[in-house]
Amino acid sequence: MTLDTRIFVLDKVDPHEVFRFCRDLLGAKDSHTFTDKQDSTYAGGEWAVRPDNPWTVSNDPGQGLPAWLMLYYRPDAPLRTPEQAAEHDEDCNLPDNDTYVAEWGTCDGTHHRRACWLTVSFDTAYGYSDERGYGCGDLHAEYVSRLGQWLDEGGVRWEWENEFTGEVHTGYSRLVELASGGFEASAWFRTTVLPAIAAEMGGAS
DSSP 168-191: EE-SSGGGGGT--SHHHHSHHIII
Q: Are residues 107 and 169 in the same domain?
A: no
Contacts with 55 (C-beta within 8 Å, 6 or more apart), sequence order: 15, 36, 37, 38, 39, 72, 73, 74, 75
Q: Is-contact 7 142, C-beta < 8 A?
A: no
User: Which residues lie below 8 Å from residue 21, measured CB to CB, with a gap of 6+?
Assistant: 147, 150
Same domain, yes or no: 74 and 170: yes
Q: What pLDDT does 203 receive?
A: 63
Q: What's the rounded Cα separation, in Å, for the pair 134 and 199?
A: 25
Residue 205 pLDDT level (bands cut at 50, 70, 90): very low
126-161 confidence digits (pLDDT tens): 999 999 999 999 999 999 999 999 999 999 999 999
Fill in the amino acid letter for 116: C
The predicted pLDDT at position 188 comes to 84
| Together in a domain, 104 and 122 | no
What is the predicted pLDDT for the residue at 89? 60
φ/ψ bin of 5: left (φ > 0), alpha (ψ from -120 to 50), beta (otherwise): beta
Residue predicted with more confidence, 147 or 195:
147
User: In whole numbers, what is the pLDDT of the chain averaged over residues?
Assistant: 87
154 lies in the same domain as 185: yes
Same domain, 197 and 101: no
Rounded to the nearest angstrom, the gap between the alpha carbon of residue 84 and the centroid of all alpha carbons in its chain is 18
Question: Residues 72, 141: one domain?
Answer: yes
Residue spans of beta strands (DSSP E) within 63-183: 68-73, 118-125, 158-162, 167-169
Q: Are 59 and 26 in contact (CB under 8 A)?
A: yes
Three-state secondary structure call for residue 64: coil
pLDDT at 112 over 80: no
Contact between 120 and 156 (Cβ < 8 Å): no
What total number of domains does the chain contain?
A: 2
| DSSP structure class, residue 194 | H
pLDDT for residue 101: 43
Question: Span 87-108, mean pLDDT?
Answer: 52
Residues 49/38, Cβ–Cβ less than 8 Å: yes
User: Is a pLDDT exceeding 60 seen at residue 96?
Assistant: no
Contact call for residues 22 and 142 (beta carbons, < 8 A): no
pTM: 0.86
Based on the fold, state whether residues 191 and 140 are members of the same structural domain: yes
The string of pLDDT tens digits covering residues 176-193 is 999 888 888 898 889 989
pLDDT over 80 (residue 111): no
Total residue length of the chain: 205
Which domain does 137 fall in, by range?
Answer: 2-37+48-79+116-204
Task: Say which residue, 44 or 22, is predicted with more confidence.
Answer: 22
- 149 and 102 both lie in a single domain: no
- Confidence bin at 102 (pLDDT 50/70/90): very low
Residues 100, 73 share a domain: no
